Amino acid sequence: MGVLIELKDITKEFNGQVVLRGINLQIEENEFVTLLGPSGCGKTTTLRIIGGFETPSSGEVLLNGKDLTHLPAYKRPTNTVFQRYALFPHLNVFENVAFGLRVKGDKKVDAKQQIKNINTKYDHLIKNASDNETIKLLKKEQKEEISSATNSNSYKRGLIKDLQKGLTALDTKYASDKQNLLKEYDLLDKESPSYSTEYQHLEDLYDLQLSTYNNSYDSEVEKINKIKDTLLTRREKEEALTKKVNKYLNMVGLKGYETRSINKLSGGQMQRVAIARALINEPQVLLLDEPLAALDLKLRQEMQYELKELQRNAGITFIYVTHDQEEALTMSDKIVVMNNGEIQQIGTPESIYNEPVNTFVANFIGESNIIEGIMKDDNLVNFDNKDYVCVDKGFGKNEKVDVVIRPEDIDIVSYDEGLLNGVVDSVAFKGVHYEIDVVTEKRTFTIHTTDYHKIRDKVGIKFNKEDIHVMEKWT
Ligand X SMILES: Nc1ncnc2c1ncn2[C@@H]1O[C@H](COP(=O)(O)OP(=O)(O)OP(=O)(O)O)[C@@H](O)[C@H]1O
Handedness of CA 70, 72, 76, 80 (dihedral sign): positive
Cβ closest to ligand X, residue 50 vs residue 390: 50
What DSSP assignment string belongs to 51-70?
A: HTSS--SEEEEEETTEE-TT
Answer yes or no whether residue 45 interacts with ligand X by CB under 6 A. yes
Q: Is 317:37 a contact under the CB 8 Å cutoff? A: no
Among 7, 23, 31, 42, binds ligand X (CB under 6 A): 42
Answer yes or no whether residue 84 interacts with ligand X by CB under 6 A. no
Residues 9-38 that bind ligand X (CB under 6 A): 14, 19, 37
Among 34, 44, 117, 332, binds ligand X (CB under 6 A): 44
Answer yes or no whether residue 80 interacts with Mg ion by CB under 5 A. no
Answer yes or no whether residue 268 interacts with ligand X by CB under 6 A. no
Q: With CB under 5 A as the contact rule, which of the stretches 9-17, 41-49, 194-202, 460-468 interacts with Mg ion?
A: 41-49
Q: Is 202:188 a contact under the CB 8 Å cutoff? A: yes
End-to-end CA distance of the chain: 36
Residue with smallest beta-carbon separation from Mg ion: 44
Give me the least distance between CB of 238 and Mg ion, in Å please: 37
Residue 272 binding partner per list Mg ion, ligand X, none, with a CB distance cut-off of 5 to 8 Å that depends on partner kind = none
| Distance of alpha carbon 386 from alpha carbon 149, whole angstroms | 67
Nearest CA to 363 among 382, 345, 384?
345
Residues 302-331 that bind ligand X (CB under 6 A): 323
- Could you give the dihedral angle defined by the CA atoms of residues 58, 59, 61 and 67, in that order, rounded to the nearest 10 degrees? 100
Residue 42 binding partner per list ligand X, Mg ion, none, with a CB distance cut-off of 5 to 8 Å that depends on partner kind = ligand X
- Could you give the dihedral angle defined by the CA atoms of residues 32, 44, 2 and 26, in that order, rounded to the nearest 10 degrees? -120
Answer yes or no whether residue 132 interacts with ligand X by CB under 6 A. no
Q: Side chain identity at 196, as an amino acid letter?
A: S
Answer yes or no whether residue 271 interacts with Mg ion by CB under 5 A. no
Among 4, 5, 10, 44, binds Mg ion (CB under 5 A): 44
Answer yes or no whether residue 51 interacts with ligand X by CB under 6 A. no
Residue 105 binding partner per list Mg ion, ligand X, none, with a CB distance cut-off of 5 to 8 Å that depends on partner kind = none
CB atoms within 10 A of CB 233: 14
Cβ closest to ligand X, residue 52 vs residue 422: 52
Give me the least distance between CB of 322 and Mg ion, in Å please: 9
Answer yes or no whether residue 55 interacts with ligand X by CB under 6 A. no
Cβ closest to ligand X, residue 42 vs residue 347: 42
How many residues at the interface with Mg ion, by CB under 5 A?
1
* Residue 92 DSSP class: B
Give me the least distance between CB of 352 and ligand X, in Å please: 17
| Distance of alpha carbon 247 from alpha carbon 269, whole angstroms | 16
Distances (CA, A) of 16 to 13, 53, 132: 6, 19, 21
Residues 413-432 that bind Mg ion (CB under 5 A): none
Residue 407 binding partner per list ligand X, Mg ion, none, with a CB distance cut-off of 5 to 8 Å that depends on partner kind = none
| Distance of alpha carbon 354 from alpha carbon 152, whole angstroms | 49
Give me the least distance between CB of 49 and ligand X, in Å please: 9
Give me the least distance between CB of 342 and Mg ion, in Å please: 16
Q: With CB under 5 A as the contact rule, which of the stretches 36-44, 126-134, 160-168, 343-351 interacts with Mg ion?
A: 36-44
Answer yes or no whether residue 359 interacts with ligand X by CB under 6 A. no
Residue 392 φ then ψ, to 5°: -90, 145
* Residue 261 DSSP class: B
Give me the least distance between CB of 239 and Mg ion, in Å please: 39
b/e sequence 379-410, b meaning 16+ C-beta within 10 Å: eebbbeeeebebebeebeeeeebbbbbbbebb
Query: For 259-391, where are the alpha helices, taking DSSP H only?
Result: 267-279, 297-314, 325-331, 349-354, 359-364
- The order of strands in the sheet holding 285-289 is 78-81, 285-289, 317-322, 32-36, 334-339, 342-347
Answer yes or no whether residue 40 interacts with ligand X by CB under 6 A. yes
What DSSP assignment string belongs to 371-384?
A: EEEEEEETTEEEET
Among 43, 84, 334, 469, binds ligand X (CB under 6 A): 43
Give me the least distance between CB of 129 and ligand X, in Å please: 16
| Pattern 90-129, ligand X, x by CB under 6 A | ----------------------------------------
| Chain positions contacting ligand X, by CB under 6 A | 14, 19, 37, 39-45, 323
Tell me which residues touch Mg ion (CB under 5 A). 44
